[in-house]
Amino acid sequence: MTDPAPSLVWLRDDLRLDDNPALSAAAGRRAPLVVVHVLEANEGVRPLGGAARWWLHHALEALAASLAGLGQRLILAEGPAARVVPDLARRAGAGAVFWNRRYGPATVADDAVTTAVRQEGIAVSTFKANLLHEPDEIPGTDGGPVKVYGAFRRKAVALPPPAPPLPAPERLPPPVPGVDGVTLGDLGLLPRAPDWAGGLREAWTPGEVGARDALARFLDGGIDGYAAGRDFPAMPSTSRLSPHLRFGEISPARIVAAVGARAGTDTAKFLDELRWREFAWHVLGHVPRMAEDNLRPEFDSFPWSEPPAGDLAAWRAGMTGYPIVDAGMRELWHTGWMHNRVRMIVASFLTKHLLIDWRVGETWFWDTLVDADAANNPFGWQWVAGSGYDAQPYFRIFNPVLQGEKFDPDGAYVRRWVPEIAALPDRWLHRPWDASPLELAGAGVRLGRDYPEPVIDHAFARGRALAAFETMRRSAAAG
């Protein structure tokens, strides 16, 4: 009886040992093992933004350390996966290749890898790992996606619960000798000249241990009051698990297992947020071009404007003159993350106050968010803009002043990220232009110098946005 040929497991957005079906299946063959991550060229897979590249560097570093603790190695490579993966499998003499499935545009790229590996006479096995339910498990009409979240939720809840999460392996087969890759430094994932990632280093601990710690902190206190507190950016009522989920450092099944023993409104709301994430991936699985195309075709005729370049620059820099918008954009730049309520506010401001195409904002978030993924990022932008499925109504135009006063009533969030106006009284913090000259002077604020005047008047912007939506509606009605 001969020993089985080596196994190769290809890890992508599943950078963990715990609850990793592909890794467990490969290890179960008890044959020498190659564990590989490929930094893919742009063959159907969207290149990572700068913040995500920073996270990936540290996630790979953490994964390599975990594998080393079990006597294994992480092989790193770069290039088209349809060439690199079969080449590594051939060099290793592999008899089987394993990976966890991806969705949307990545499905086409992965199909090319499947074909190339099988042409080498090597078996391929793939697994569900990063969703509770894959896109085709919840059928829509006519083979398309479910377009309303309520209907999606009802169908998801009615499905059998996901399989219990797999434990992390206590041991792994030995590595295959003679199979090498490039170094982590060779991938060039970290920023240089300048190094803008200081705030990210302060805010995050990428890797599987960081994910487990974030979940533990959330369950130890953050989940209590989650339903009411999740909309208040100064409150510690969010899980901060999103980048760990994006890179697969923790699985949704593991989160559900940890949370599921609890009951109550807070737990139910948190699980609904996980289902909203699944809804976005469900849609992407059916509409791979969600980052490029309006989900609602009538928005193809929406009259997006070409505002002065300074307006877009002010939005990106957090210098619009609206404190809650500016606080969010500065939090994003400093930490690579933004509170979800504030994401909606800043996206509404860009698309409805400035009438800038949602794709411009989506691209900026893709480059600056550590948790930007191929589904939730464009899905969220289309929801706010009104062009998405089950989106907010076109006439819902967030008033940034009222949003700030409602969700940051004592100004703690704005004062942290917009310190130049921190001395203003609460009454004027979200509308500094309404303060008297004496009150501004007392707070050390000179509008137009220390802090900008608003780039646009809210009442004017709202009227202009409603007119633009009416133009679109008439155009759609006329065909």
Catalytic residue among 43, 78, 196, 276: 276
User: Is 304 in the active site?
Assistant: yes
User: Is 10 in the active site?
Assistant: no
User: Is 381 in the active site?
Assistant: yes
User: Is 55 in the active site?
Assistant: no
Kindly give the residue spans of alpha helices, DSSP state H, lying in 261-417. Answer: 265-286, 309-317, 323-335, 340-348, 358-368, 376-385, 400-407, 412-417
The CB-based long-range contact list for 180-188 (8 Å cut-off, 24+ gap) reads 180/75, 181/36, 181/75, 181/76, 181/77, 181/88, 182/76, 182/77, 182/78, 183/76, 184/57, 184/60, 184/61, 184/64, 184/76, 186/76, 186/78, 187/39, 187/57, 187/60, 187/76, 187/78
Catalytic residue among 43, 137, 333, 340: 340
Catalytic residue among 364, 381, 383, 428: 381
Catalytic residue among 273, 298, 405, 439: 273
Tokens representing 215?
A: 């979940």
CA 235 to the chain's CA centroid: 21
Catalytic residue among 196, 304, 333, 433: 304
Spell out the residues 6+ positions from residue 79 whose beta carbon is closer than 8 angstroms to its own. Answer: 38, 39, 40, 41
Query: Which residues share a beta bridge with 39?
Result: 78
Query: Which residues share a beta bridge with 127?
Result: 100
Catalytic residue among 358, 366, 417, 428: 358
Spell out the residues 6+ positions from residue 334 whose beta carbon is closer than 8 angstroms to its own. Answer: 199, 203, 417
User: Is 337 in the active site?
Assistant: no
User: Is 204 in the active site?
Assistant: no
Sheet with 96-100: list strands edge to edge: 74-79, 33-40, 7-10, 96-100, 123-127
Give me the amino acid identity at 19.
D
Q: Supply the residues annotated as catalytic.
A: 273, 276, 304, 340, 358, 381
